[in-house]
Amino acid sequence: MPLRDGFGTGFHIRGQKPFILDDYSESEPDVAVVIRDYTDHHPSTAVLLVEVTDTTLAYDRLDKAAAYARNAIPEYWILNLCDRCLKVYHRPSHGAYAERTLLTAGETISTLAAPDLRIEIAALLP
């Protein structure tokens, strides 16, 4: 995965594993980039969460985005396989993301936590 190349040793990339949002909910994002500060529990903070979708777009865009924003996840991506694009969410505030960007297969992105990493959107798509 292109994300693995850009994060240093202080980060861990987890795939489809439990992630604690708050005292009442747990999620299993498709990809979570977390800081390696957990040992005996599931992580509860992340620098980036990614959902890959083809049939759950509305749920990922509405419910999960709101939950992630409420829990101050600084960056959330939805990789939309049907439309071959990446929706990027930044700046969580009051249960919503203040900034949303749509990127297509011909574009590139970098993450807030690894700004020197350039990822081609096409490399994320099957």
pLDDT in tens, 82-115: 999 999 999 999 999 999 999 999 999 999 998 9
Percent of the chain with pLDDT over 70: 87
- Here the CATH number for the domain that contains residue 36 is 3.90.1570.10
Number of domains in the chain: 1
- What is the chain written as a DSSP string? -GGGGT--TTEEEEES--EE-SSS-EE--SEEEEES--SSS-----SEEEEEESS-HHHIIIIIHHHHHHTT-SEEEEEETTTTEEEEEEEEETTEEEEEEEEETT-EE--SS-TT--EEHHHH--
Cβ-Cβ contacts under 8 Å for 43 (sequence gap 6 or more)? 14, 19, 20, 32, 34, 35, 37
Q: Which domain holds residue 112?
A: 2-124
pLDDT in tens, 5-32: 677 777 888 888 888 787 667 788 999 8
Indicate yes or no: pTM above 0.85: yes
